[in-house]
Amino acid sequence: MRLAHSSKSSREQWSGKLGFILASIGSAVGLGSIWRFPFIAGENGGGAFVLIYLVCILLLGLPVLLSEIVLGRTALRNPVGTYRKLAPGTPWFLTGFIGMAATILILSFYSTVGGWTLAYAQKALTGSFSQIGINQAEAGFGSLIGSPLQPILWQAAFLILTAGICIFGLQKGIERTTKFLMPLLGVLLIILVVRSVTLPGAMEGIKFILYPDWSHVTLTTFFEALGMAFFSLSVGAGVMLTYGSYLSRKESIPSATGNIVVFSTLVSLAAGLAIFPAVFSLGYEPNTGPPLVFITLPAVFAQLPMGGVFAILFFLLLAVAALTSAISLLEVPLRYLEDEHSWSRKKSTFIVGGIIFFLGIFSTLSFNTLSGVQLIPGLPVFDSMDFIASNVLLPTSGLLTILFAGWKWGVAKLLRESRGDHEAGFPLETAWGFIIRWIAPVLILAVFAFQVISS
Ligand code: PHE
**Looking at this predicted complex, what is its ipTM?**
0.98
Q: Structural domain tally of the chain?
A: 1
Q: Any idea what the CATH number is for the domain that residue 306 is in?
A: 1.20.1740.10
Residue 424 lies in a domain: yes
Q: How far is the CA of 111 from the centre of ligand 1 (A)?
A: 12
Question: Domain for residue 11, yes or no?
Answer: no
pTM of the model: 0.94
Predicted local distance difference test score (pLDDT) of residue 6: 43
Asked whether the beta carbons of 147 and 371 are under 8 A apart, the reply is no
Q: What is the full DSSP assignment across 273-324?
A: HHHHHHHHHTT--S---GGGTTTHHHHHHHHSTTHHHHHHHHHHHHHHHHHH
Instruction: Identify the domain containing residue 427 by its residue range.
Output: 22-454
On whether residue 1 sits in a domain, the answer given is no
Is residue 8 in some structural domain? no
Could you tell me the distance, in angstroms and rounded to a whole number, from the CA of residue 234 to the centre of ligand 1?
A: 4
The mean predicted confidence, pLDDT, of the chain is: 91
Q: What is the pLDDT of residue 10?
A: 63
Give me the pLDDT at residue 455, please: 67
Q: Which amino acid residue places its CA nearest to atom 8 of ligand 1? A: 234
Give residue 321 CA to ligand 1 midpoint distance, Å: 10
Q: Could you tell me if residue 15 is inside a domain?
A: no
Which of 234, 263, 390 has most ligand 1 atoms within 8 Å of CB, for mutation? 234
Q: What is the DSSP string of 179-231?
A: HHHHHHHHHHHHHHHHHHHTSTTHHHHHHHHHSB-GGG--HHHHHHHHHHHHH
- Mark the ranges of the chain whose per-residue pLDDT is less than 70: 1-10, 455
Atom of ligand 1 nearest to the CA of 31: 12
pLDDT digits (tens, 9 = 90+) for 326-385: 999 999 999 999 999 999 999 999 999 999 999 999 999 999 999 999 998 988 999 999
Q: What is the pLDDT of residue 135?
A: 87
User: Is residue 400 one of the residues assigned to a domain?
Assistant: yes
- Asked if the structure places residue 297 within a domain, the reply is yes
Domain annotation covers residue 3 = no
* Residues in the ligand 1 pocket, defined by CB under 6 Å: 27-28, 30-33, 106, 231-232, 234, 237, 239, 325, 328-329
Q: What DSSP letter does each residue of 46-94 carry, written as one string?
A: BHHHHHHHHHHIIIIIHHHHHHHHHHHHHHTS-HHHHHHHHSTTSTTHH
Atom of ligand 1 nearest to the CA of 103: 11
- Residue 54 confidence (pLDDT): 93
